Structure 1
Amino acid sequence: MTTPVAATPQAAPAATAQKAPRRRTALVTGATAGIGKAFAVRLANDGWDLVLVARDAARLDEFCQALTQTYSVRATPLSADLSTSSGVESVEARLREEAFELLVNNAGLSLNTPFLKSSVEQEEYLLSVNVHAVMRLTHAALPGMVTRRSGNIINVSSVAGFAATMPGSTYPASKAWVIHFSESVGLSVARHGVKVLALCPGFTRSEFHSRAGIDMSKTPNWLWLQAPNVVDAALKDLGKGRSVSVPGWKYKVLVGFMRHTPTRLLRRFARTARVRTGRDTE
C-alpha cells in the first residue's frame, strides 16, 4: 500500500500592496481673510493639503495650525509679500517644485484714492499685486500642470472688471485684465486638461474694504455676498468647465446690464451708484 503523502499547505497569496491615493494639494494666496480664507477652509474640509500665502507670518502660522488640527490635513504657511519681487519669487519657486492640483490667485487690493490724486508708486503697488503677481504665479504653475495634463487655476477678479463703474479708480482696469488674461490662457491650455477660471464676485464680506480705508457703511445689505458662498459657486463653475464665474443671481443680472448697456447710460449709472454707496472720493 502506498503511504499517502501529506498535502503541503499552500502559502496564501501575498496581499497586493495598495498605493494610497495621492493627496491633492492647493496653493492659495491672500489666505488669511475673506475669500482666500474661505477657500482654505473649504479645501481643507474636502481633504486637500494646502500651502497658504499671506504677509502676516504670525497670523498665517496660527491659521495653518488650526486647519491642520481641525481637518487632519497638511497646511503649510508661506509668508510672502506679493507686492515685492522677492516675495513673488519665493512662491514661484514653491509652485515649480511641487505638483499642485489647484492654484488660487486671491491676493488683491484697491486704493481709496482717485487716479488724479494718486501717485505712480501707489498705482504700481496696485498693479504689482493685482496683475503682475497673478501673471507670474500662473506662469510658474502652468508648465507642471500641462505636463501632468491635470490642474486648475482660479484667478480672483471682480464684477468691477466688466466696466468702468468706479470713476477715478484704476481697480476695475486691473480686474478687467485678470478676466481677459484668464480667459485667454484658459483657451490655450484646455487641450492639455488644465482649467483656468476668472472668479468675479461683487461686494463680499471681508477685510478688503477696511484695509483699503474704504467706507462701505452706505452699501445696502442685499448687495453683500458671503465668502463661503462665493467659493462654492467658483468650485461648481470650475467643475462645469466655465471660464468665468459670477456668484449670485443679482450680480449675474448686473453683469448682463454692464455688458449690454450703452456707454453713456452706464457712465451716468456709475456716477449715481458711487454717490449712493458712499464711495464718491473725487
Structure 2
Amino acid sequence: MTNSSQKTAVVTGASSGIGAVYADRLAQRGYNLVLVARREDRLQSVAAAIKSKYSVQVDILCADLSTEDGLSTTEQLLKEKSFDLLVNNAGIARLAPLAHGPLSDSLSQIALNITALTRLTQAILPGMKQRNSGTIINIASVMAFSTLPMGAVYSGTKAFVLSFSQVLQQELSETDVKIQVVLPAATATEVWDNSGVPLSALDPSAVMQTENMVDGALQALDNGEAITYPSVADEGMISRLEEARVAVFAAAQTSQVAPRLISQ
C-alpha cells in the first residue's frame, strides 16, 4: 500500500486489541483515520496515542455496532464520504455449548460478527466500485473451520465472514477493489475476557501477540494475499485447502446421487 496522508481508513472495534493495532499501523503508513467503537474513553486514548506519534488526522465515532442506532450512523458515514480502506474488525466471542448458553449471546454474536460487517461492507462498496479503488479487510478466524464443542455460533459467524469475503473477491475480480479476509488463531486480546474461556486457560505457545498478527496480515496484504492465515507457515497446506474446496464444489454440480447413497 502506498503511503499517502490523503488516504483515509475506517477501523471498527478500534478501542483495543486488533483494531487498535491496525489503527496504529495504518497511521504509520500515512493513513488518516476514523476509529469506531462503543467506548469513547478508550477511543480517545487510542487516538491521542496515534496523534502523538504520527502526522495524521484521527477522528473518532463512538458507536455500538450491535445496535441499530450505532450501525446506521456508521453506515451513513461510509455512504456519504469517500474512504480508501475499511477494517471490519468489531466482533465478540461467547464460547459455550449452545444448549447451555443464553439466546442473547447467540444473537449478539450474529449482530456484530455478521450483520454489522455485512451492512458496513455494503455501505462502503458502491463508492469504492465507482472509484475503482479501495480495500476492505474482514477479520474472520480459524474458528471458521473449528469443530470445538463450545463455539457453534461464533464459528458459524466466522465461517460466514470467510464465505462472504471469498464471494466478494470473485464479484470484484475485474476491479481494483481488494477484499482480504484474515483468519487468525488465538490472539492475545480482550475478546477472551468475556468469552467464557479465559486467555490464561490457553497454551501460551499457541497464542500470538496482537502486534505480530496485524503486522503479518498487513504484510500478506502487501504481498497480494486474499485469504490470510497469519500463523500457518505451510503455504502448500493453504493452497491445498482452497483447491479441495473448489474441487468439492465442482464435483457437486451433477444431477446424479452419489453411489454411496444409493441403496443396494
TM-score by length of 1: 0.79
Q: Relative to structure 1, is the Cα distance of residues 64 and 213 closer, same or farther in structure 2, using a 3 angstrom cutoff?
A: same
Q: Does 1:169 align with 2:152?
A: yes
Secondary structure (helix, strand or coil) at the match of 2:34 reads strand
Q: 1:54 aligns with which of 22, 37, 60?
A: 37
Question: Displacement, 1:108?
Answer: 0.7
2:191 aligned with 1:181, yes or no? no
Query: Counterpart of 1:211 in 2: which secondary structure?
Result: coil
Indicate the structure (1 or 2) with the bigger Cα radius of gyration: 1
* Counterpart amino acid of residue 187 in structure 1: Q
- Is 1:87 the counterpart of 2:70 in the alignment? yes
Q: How does 1:184-263 map to 2 (within 5 A)?
A: 184-249=167-232
Aligned to 1:34: 17
Could you tell me which of 100, 105, 115 is aligned with 1:122? 105
Compute the displacement of 1:152 (Å). 0.4
Q: CA deviation at 1:88?
A: 0.8
Find the counterpart in structure 2 of residue 138 from structure 1.
Answer: 121
**1:32-55 CA distances to partner (integer Å, 9 max, x unpaired)?**
111111101101111110000111
Worse-matched range after superposition: 237-246 or 44-53: 237-246
SS, match of residue 205 in structure 2: helix
Tell me, yes or no, if structure 1 residue 78 matches structure 2 residue 61. yes
Q: Which digits, 9 at most, give the CA deviation of each residue in 1:52-110, with x for residues without a partner?
A: 01110122122212212321211101011011111111111111122111100001111
Q: Does 2:25 align with 1:25?
A: no
Q: Is the 8 A contact 1:35 1:231 kept in 2?
A: yes
1:161-198 residue CA offsets vs partner (Å, 9 max, x unmatched):
02323445321111000000001011101212111111
Q: Which amino acid counterpart does residue 79 of structure 1 have in structure 2?
A: C
Relative to 1, partners in 2 of residues 1:112 and 1:22: Cα closer, same or farther, differing over 3 Å?
A: closer
Q: Percent identity?
A: 36
Q: Residue 279 of structure 1 corresponds to which residue in structure 2? A: none
State the superposition RMSD in angstroms. 2.4
Instruction: Return the letter of the residue paired with 1:155.
Output: N
In the superposition, the TM-score normalised over structure 2's length comes to 0.84
Q: How many residues align?
A: 241
1:196 aligns to what SS in structure 2? strand
Query: What residue in structure 1 maps to residue 88 of structure 2?
Result: 105
Kept in 1: contact 2:5–2:32 (CA 8 A): no
**Counterparts of 1:136 and 1:174 in 2: how far apart (Å)?**
14
Indicate how the Cα distance of structure 1 residues 169 and 92 shifts in structure 2: closer, same or farther if over 3 A, else same. Answer: same
For residues 190 and 155 of structure 2, what CA distance do their matches in structure 1 show? 19
Point out 4+ residue stretches in structure 1 off by more than 6 angstroms. Answer: 251-260
Within 1, Cα distance between the matches of 2:15 and 2:156? 25
SS at match of 1:153: strand
The 1:101–1:78 alpha-carbon spacing in structure 2 relative to 1, beyond 3 Å, is same
Q: State whether residues 187 and 210 of structure 2, in contact with CA within 8 Å, keep that contact through their aligned partners in structure 1.
A: yes
Cα distance in 1, alignment partners of residues 197 and 123 from structure 2: 33
The one-letter amino acid paired with 1:83 is: S
* 1:246 and 1:252 in contact (8 A); partners too: no
Q: CA deviation at 1:120?
A: 2.6
Indicate if the aligned counterparts of 1:104 and 1:155 stay in contact, CA closer than 8 A: yes
The Cα offsets for residues 109-152 of structure 1, whole Å up to 9 and x where unpaired, read as 11143210123332111100000001000000100000110000
Residue 203 of structure 1: SS of its match in structure 2? coil
Q: Give ranges in structure 2 of 5+ residues lacking alignment.
A: 244-264
Alpha-carbon distance in 1 for matches of 2:238, 2:134 = 28
Amino acid in the other structure paired with 1:207: E
